[in-house]
Structure 1
Amino acid sequence: MKKAGILNRHLAGALAELGHGDGVLVCDAGMPIPNGPRVVDLAFRAGVPSFAEVVDGLLAELVVEGATAAAEVREANPAAAGLLAGRFTELAYVSHEELKELSAGARLVVRTGEARPYANVLLRCGVFF
């Protein structure tokens, strides 16, 4: 049994399958999930687990070379916007509609219990060397 890091077997296994350039959408409970990508649904109750908890847990285990978020987050959800700005140096903004379109190309979707709007980010995996 693992003693640290991500303990959820489905999420840990999905992360181990990712490669350079793969996309991982971390989304709130309300984001429409496209057909295609593997989905690990962590949502338990409204707000649990939070977007911040999941993003931070993923960043502790993944190499991320860039991220994309909806421009609307800056006005509608300043807390999530601040979290994203503080975690990613390579952060691009697109419209929410474009983010939904881009998410169809993700390899993995991780749904959180976040109940605040636009708490979504598409991560682009990097390499450790």
Structure 2
Amino acid sequence: MKKAGILNRHLSGALAELGHGDGVLVCDAGMPIPDGPRVVDLAFRAGVPSFAEVLDGLLAELVVEGATAAREVRAANPAAAALLDDRFPELGLVSHDELKARSAGARLVVRTGEARPYANVLLRCGVFF
């Protein structure tokens, strides 16, 4: 048994399969999940686990070279916008519809229990060397 890091076996295994350039969508409970990507659904109850908890757990284990979010997050969810700006100084912003379209190309979707709007980000994996 692992003693640290992400303990969820489905998520840990899915992360180990990612490579350079792969997309990972971290999303709130309301985001439509496209057909195609592998999905690890962590949602338990409204707000549990939070977008911030899951994002920070993923960032502790992944190399991320880029991130894209919906520009609507700025007005609709200032807390999520501040979190994203803090974690990603060069955050790319697109319309929510464009983010949904791009998420179809993700390799992995991680659904949180977040119940505030636009708490979604599409991560692009990098390499550690």
The TM-score, its normalising length taken from structure 2, stands at 0.99
What SS does the corresponding residue of 2:128 show, helix, strand or coil?
Answer: coil
Aligned length: 129
Per the alignment, residue 27 of structure 1 pairs with 27
CA RMSD, aligned part only?
0.4
Per the alignment, residue 85 of structure 2 pairs with 85
1:48-106 per-residue CA deviation (whole Å, 9 max, x = no partner) reads 00000000000000000000000000000000000000001231000000000000000
Identity of aligned residues (%): 89
Q: Which amino acid aligns with 1:51?
A: F
Q: Which amino acid aligns with 1:120?
A: N
Per the alignment, residue 59 of structure 1 pairs with 59
Per the alignment, residue 7 of structure 2 pairs with 7
The TM-score, its normalising length taken from structure 1, stands at 0.99
Q: Please list every run of 5 or more consecutive structure 1 residues that lacks an aligned counterpart in the other structure.
A: none
Q: Please list every run of 5 or more consecutive structure 2 residues that lacks an aligned counterpart in the other structure.
A: none
Per the alignment, residue 75 of structure 2 pairs with 75
Per the alignment, residue 103 of structure 1 pairs with 103
CA distance in 2, matches of 1:88, 1:5: 21
